[in-house]
Amino acid sequence: MKVQLRHNPSSTIARCFLAGGEPMRVESGAMVAHSAGVTLEAKAEGGILAGLKRSVLAGESFFVSTFTAPQQGGWVDVAPALPGDMLNLPLVPDRPYFISRGGWIANSHGVTVEAKWGGFANLFGGEGGFGLRAHGHGEVVLGVFGAIDVIDLAPGEPVTIDTGHVVAYDLAMNFTIRRAVSGRSLQSLKSGEGFVFDFIGPGRVLLQTRNPGAFSAWVGSTSSSG
């Protein structure tokens, strides 16, 4: 699968070019268009239990759409629900990535994407205790709210990032999740921050410049005040 990004950075669409007979997996509802002859099959990838884990726990759709190119090849356009950029993340064996809720859009045939527990702190932080673990060899297409930011950490280099801005990270890194103001819930609330990641390199963290949870809260507050 080859990925070409268009209309970036604010309204990006990813065109995924497929070889003859090549399949790709797409988040339900993310397909924008496809070339002639491409076939679609929607099912609970990995069975009913895996579908429930993905939908209830990881915040993704119960069903996954599999698009398969005809003999002459084809393409599928995909896009996220929120306005923003997209990223093509190449994966290699033994270097899995954790993908936060709502970040996964599609992946090539050689990649497995499955629900993964992200920790109690992540759950209570409001970002959802589960996300997705992507591993294998191939491409993962991610969607972000706003623009993409990338932080590459050197060995031993630390960084602290708000959980709502983290889209994906290298699982080879050491990291913890904590309150923004350690041990003081009231101070965290006053600061406007909830939970944060502390990452230690080497490794890569992919961020989005806007926080979907904060945007949802803002929309809710303006709707109720109106």
pLDDT in tens, 56-78: 444 455 468 999 999 999 999 99
Q: What is the mean pLDDT of residues 174-185?
A: 74
CATH number of the domain at 2-218, please? 3.60.160.10
Q: What is the mean pLDDT of residues 33-46?
A: 85
Give the total residue count for the chain: 226
Place of tokens 């913890």: 176
* pTM (predicted TM-score): 0.82
pLDDT of residue 184: 53
For the chain, what are the domain ranges? 2-218
Mean of per-residue pLDDT scores for the chain: 83
Which has more confidence, 100 or 142? 142
Asked if residues 131 and 58 have their Cβ atoms less than 8 Å apart, the reply is yes
Closest CA to 176 of 99, 102, 121: 121
pLDDT-based confidence at residue 46 (cuts at 50, 70, 90): low
Give the Cα separation of 82 and 220 in Å (integer).
Answer: 16
Check pLDDT > 70 for residue 44: no
Q: Number of H helices and number of E strands within the chain?
A: 4, 19
pLDDT tens digits, 84-137:
999 999 999 999 999 988 899 999 999 998 877 655 444 433 444 567 889 999
pLDDT-based confidence at residue 165 (cuts at 50, 70, 90): very high
Cis amide leading into 96 (omega within 30)? no
Q: What is the mean pLDDT of residues 154-163?
A: 95
Asked if residues 14 and 88 have their Cβ atoms less than 8 Å apart, the reply is yes
pLDDT of residue 118: 53
pLDDT of residue 8: 92
Task: Report the range of poorest mean pLDDT among 22-26, 48-52, 133-137, 205-209.
Answer: 48-52
The strand ranges marked E within 44-179 are 64-68, 74-78, 86-91, 97-99, 104-108, 111-117, 130-136, 138-143, 148-153, 158-162, 166-170, 174-179
pLDDT tens digits, 187-215:
444 444 578 899 999 999 999 999 988 88
